[in-house]
């Protein structure tokens, strides 16, 4: 069953892009993209390879500054602010920390994110050994994601599904208002994909996350979990619509997936 967005009296979007464009030399990766995300929404960004999905997320999370336009989070211009400062404001992104720090344990990987949130960046691993706050918080996050029994396992030894959960858990450890996920279930089995998404949605609800945005190729997951679908094609906004309308349009599905729609 598709989750329902949370009812809210807020009218200001949590974040929005306003006529955002991004060029790399003469190549226009994004052209005049405007969309917003509001309280309680799960928004999926979809499109064929090269559509501009990752560039859009990189602009939204401050890794890239737009060539033109605005990116606003909680009413504040965040263009080019960078992911560390943005996380402190309340928007975090899963960065596949397992791939960056494969020799760390689950506990240590979570500690990196928690220490960042608490601004204890000088030596988070030394702090972890003697800091009950870091220990307790790492255990709390691991429990939510079903990783408590793996706390002292080296991240590289985890299954692919567990690695994905750890990546997402690291973003949740930042206590975000909004979380952005770039293909959170890529590389795992179909059965594991749904298990990961169920844990993710439950964890977001428990943690008070106010909105989730994901880049995703798997149309089954997009259809099941999204409240809205933002479709890109060749760097332009192709559609911004509810899943029922999107999946009722065979031409739209064919344009996004690049294949014939499901019958």
pLDDT in tens, 49-58: 889 998 998 9
Residues in CB range of 169: below 8 A, 6 or more apart? 110, 141, 142, 144, 145, 147, 203
What does the longest C-alpha to C-alpha distance in the chain come to? Answer: 58
pLDDT of residue 55: 93
Q: What is the CB neighbour count within 10 angstroms for residue 109?
A: 29
Confidence check: pLDDT of 87 > 80? yes
Residues in CB range of 122: below 8 A, 6 or more apart? none
Nearest to 198 by CA among 236, 164, 242, 153: 164
- What is the enclosing helix (H) or strand (E) of 15? strand 15-24
CA distances from 193 to 9, 23, 42, 249 (A): 33, 34, 16, 25
pLDDT one-digit tens code per residue, 201-228 = 999 988 889 999 999 989 999 999 999 9
**CATH 3.40.50.300 intervals, the chain:** 11-89+177-184+211-263, 91-175
Confidence check: pLDDT of 4 > 50? no
> Could you tell me the pLDDT band of residue 10, with boundaries at 50, 70 and 90?
very low
Confidence check: pLDDT of 261 > 90? no
What is 11-89+177-184+211-263's CATH topology?
Answer: Rossmann fold (3.40.50)
What's the rounded Cα separation, in Å, for the pair 171 and 166? Answer: 9
Q: Which residue's structure tokens are 């945005």?
A: 213
pLDDT of residue 259: 55
User: Do residues 86 and 62 touch, judged by C-beta distance below 8 A?
Assistant: yes
Secondary structure percentages of the chain, helix, strand, coil, to 5: 40, 25, 35
What is 91-175's CATH topology?
Answer: Rossmann fold (3.40.50)
pLDDT of residue 237: 96
Nearest to 181 by CA among 194, 165, 195, 192: 165
pLDDT of residue 197: 92
pLDDT of residue 142: 93
> Could you tell me the pLDDT band of residue 1, with boundaries at 50, 70 and 90?
very low
What's the rounded Cα separation, in Å, for the pair 53 and 224? Answer: 20
What's the rounded Cα separation, in Å, for the pair 246 and 26? Answer: 32
How is residue 201 written in tokens?
């949605």
pLDDT of residue 97: 64
Confidence check: pLDDT of 114 > 70? yes
pLDDT of residue 126: 59
Q: What is the CB neighbour count within 10 angstroms for residue 135?
A: 17
What's the rounded Cα separation, in Å, for the pair 212 and 179? Answer: 5
How is residue 112 written in tokens?
């990196």
Confidence check: pLDDT of 133 > 50? yes
> Could you tell me the pLDDT band of residue 9, with boundaries at 50, 70 and 90?
very low
């Amino acid at each position: 069953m598709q989750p329902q967005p949370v009812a809210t009296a807020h009218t200001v979007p949590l974040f929005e892009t306003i006529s955002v464009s991004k060029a790399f030399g003469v190549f226009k990766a994004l052209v005049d993209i405007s969309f917003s995300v509001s309280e309680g929404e799960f928004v999926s960004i979809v499109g064929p390879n090269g559509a501009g999905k990752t560039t859009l997320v990189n602009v939204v999370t401050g890794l890239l500054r737009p060539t033109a336009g605005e990116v606003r989070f909680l009413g504040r211009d965040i263009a080019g602010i960078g992911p560390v400062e943005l996380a402190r404001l309340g928007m975090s992104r899963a960065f596949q920390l397992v791939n960056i720090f494969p020799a760390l344990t689950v506990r240590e990987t979570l500690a990196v994110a928690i220490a960042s949130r608490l601004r204890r960046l000088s030596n988070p691993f030394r702090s972890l050994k003697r800091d009950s706050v870091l220990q307790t918080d790492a255990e709390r996050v691991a429990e939510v994601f079903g990783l408590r029994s793996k706390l002292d396992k080296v991240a590289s030894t985890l299954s692919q599904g567990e690695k994905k959960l750890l990546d997402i858990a690291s973003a949740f450890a930042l206590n975000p208002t909004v979380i952005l996920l770039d293909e959170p279930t890529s590389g795992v089995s179909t059965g594991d994909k749904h298990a990961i998404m169920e844990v993710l949605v439950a964890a977001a609800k428990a943690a008070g996350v106010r909105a989730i945005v994901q880049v995703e190729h798997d149309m089954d997951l997009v259809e099941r979990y999204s409240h809205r679908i933002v479709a890109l094609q060749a760097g332009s906004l192709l559609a911004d619509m509810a899943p029922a309308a999107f999946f009722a349009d065979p031409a739209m599905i064919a344009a996004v997936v690049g294949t014939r729609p499901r019958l």
